[in-house]
Structures are given as structure tokens and as C-alpha cells.
Copies of this chain bind each other. A is one copy, B any other.
Amino acid sequence: MAELKSPTIGWIGTGVMGKSMAGRLLESDYNVNIFTRTPAKAEELLNLGAQWNESVKSLAEESDMIITMVGYPSDVEEVYFGEDGLLQNAAEGTYIIDMTTSSPELAVKMDQEASKRKIRVLDAPVSGGDVGAKEGTLSIMVGGEEAAFHDVRFLFDLLGSQTVLQGPAGSGQFTKMCNQIAIASNMMGVSESLVYAEAAGLDPNTVLESISGGAAGSWSLSNLTPRVIKGDLEPGFYVKHFIKDMKIAIESAEKMELNLPGLKLAKQLYDQISADGYANSGTQALYKYYK
């Protein structure tokens, strides 16, 4: 679609991440069609010039490229499949990018269904949080055909500062799972390190001075532990969303006959704090498991 100077972009999903990301497209003067389940959440974007669509079906019919950023794999299924879904209603040649963190197997299924209809689908989940979404500094992990990747690369470049084509359909989701798997066990490590420091009567800030620059160093230790020390459990990333991601990773690992005991344990501990009332806290709330 190199000849298309000003494609119309359809955008589905305007949560914390989706809203900031769609806002960046509007700032760059793209035509943006919006559909989202809760219309009130789209208001800000409509004020910035986005067009409202009444349904997934009408958005599909009126957009050249479509980006979805919804919540759960079940939402992705609903948006893509069925009579009123994207795949049934998008024209041949449409590009559709799912940036939701979702199941790799579902991404493969979407790609297969799309191929039959000459629609190009990419899976492209992100990391970098709300700040990365606002500033366009996300890391974008892409699965799908190389040609389609290059055709929509300009969109990724508006949204992220690090975009890597990881392989065929599903590879973006698989890579995002690698990211979440690494985080899951590390969150136990940083939480346990902090509760141990406190129990030993140490000043946790002084401990961080000694350990955060070395072999124990991590993004979570440098960024989340200071928040916990201050008693700040506000979500950068929600416990409930992290649990969703770990569930996808565990199911996906089981399909590959991989046993990942660290990941499973982390999921159990997060399930516990979710049951204890921290589902809407940030992932640093894992600390509460130990108190």
C-alpha cells in the first residue's frame, strides 16, 4: 500500500494504552476511525478529530488499516471472528494489527483465517507501559509476513522506538510471553529481597544503593521497589492484567510440553494477592503476599 498516502486507520480499544497510542496517530494527522465498547472512553479522541463508528463491522468496512488494543483473548476473539467481526467485514487487502497481549495460538488462527480472505494480519504486542504509549517509546514485538510488516512499519514507528519482526504469525505474542515470563519470577526476587531487608532491620533504600547497580540489578528493582518502599501500589501495570498474561504463558508452555515452575509459582502468588484485594493494584503489590 505504498501508493496510499493517507490511509484511514481504524482503532478498536481505548483503554489506558490504546487511548495514548491512537492519540499519537491523530497528532500525526492520520484519519482515525474509532470503535470501543464503552463510548465514553473514546470522547477524548473524538475531540482530537477521530471519527466514531457504531460497530466493529462499520469500522472494518471504512478503514484501510486497523489496529486492535483490547483486553483479553476473549475480546480479541469477539472482535475478529463471527458475523460482525473484522475478518468477515474487512475488504481484501486490509491490514489488521492486533497489539493486545493475547495468545500466540489465537494469533496463528487469526492469520490463517485472514489469509483465506486476502487480509493481512500481524500480531504486535508491546511493552513500555503508559509512559511508553504516550511518548511513542514502546517496544513492539511483531509476528507475521515480512511484506505486511514493512507496509505498516510507519505506524509502528509512530508508536514505538524499538520494533522487531520476530518471525511468522504468533511470534510477536510468543516474544511478549518471553517478556512476561522473565518479569514474573523476577517480581518474586525483588519482593523477597525487600521483605528480607526489612525483617533484618536494614534501610531498604540503602540496600538498593549497594545492590541495584550489580548482578541483582533489574528494571523492577530500580523502578518498582522504590515505589513499594514509599507505600505506592498504584498501577503502572495492573495485577489483573499480569495474571491474564501469566495464564496465557502457562497454557502456551503446556501446549509445548514445557514445565516452568518459576512462572507457575509467581502466578499462584499473584492469584493470592488478587484474592486479597490487589487485582487493581500495580504488579509491585506482590510484596503484600509476604506481609
Q: Footprint of B on A, CB under 8 Å?
A: 104, 127-129, 139-141, 162, 164, 166-167, 170-171, 174-175, 177-186, 188-197, 199-203, 206-207, 209-211, 213-221, 223, 237, 249, 252-253, 256, 258-263, 265-266, 269, 290
CB atoms of A211 and B179 under 8 A apart? yes
A269 touches B258 (CB 8 A): no
Count of this chain's copies in the oligomeric assembly: 2
On whether the beta carbons of A127 and B188 are closer than 8 Å, the reply is no
> Which B residues are in CB contact (< 8 Å) with A260?
192, 195-196, 290
Residues on B with beta carbons closer than 8 Å to the beta carbon of A175: 197, 202, 207, 210-211
Q: Taking each of A182, A215, A217, which has the highest tally of chain B beta carbons within 10 Å of its own beta carbon?
A: A182
- A190's nearest neighbour on chain B, judged by CB, is B182
List chain B residues, Cβ under 8 A from A170: 200
Query: Which of A128, A185, A256 is most buried by chain B, counting CB atoms within 10 A of its CB?
Result: A185
Residues of B within 8 A of A197 (CB): 174-175, 178
Closest B residue by C-beta to A225: B182
Give the residue among A186, A201, A258, A260 with the most B Cβ atoms within 10 A: A186
5 further contact pairs, Cβ within 8 A, besides A139-B210, A164-B210, A196-B253: A180-B216, A182-B216, A191-B262, A195-B260, A258-B290
A255: nearest chain-B partner, CB-CB: B199
12 cross-chain CB contacts under 8 A: A127-B215, A139-B214, A166-B210, A167-B203, A179-B215, A189-B263, A192-B262, A196-B249, A196-B256, A216-B219, A218-B220, A261-B269
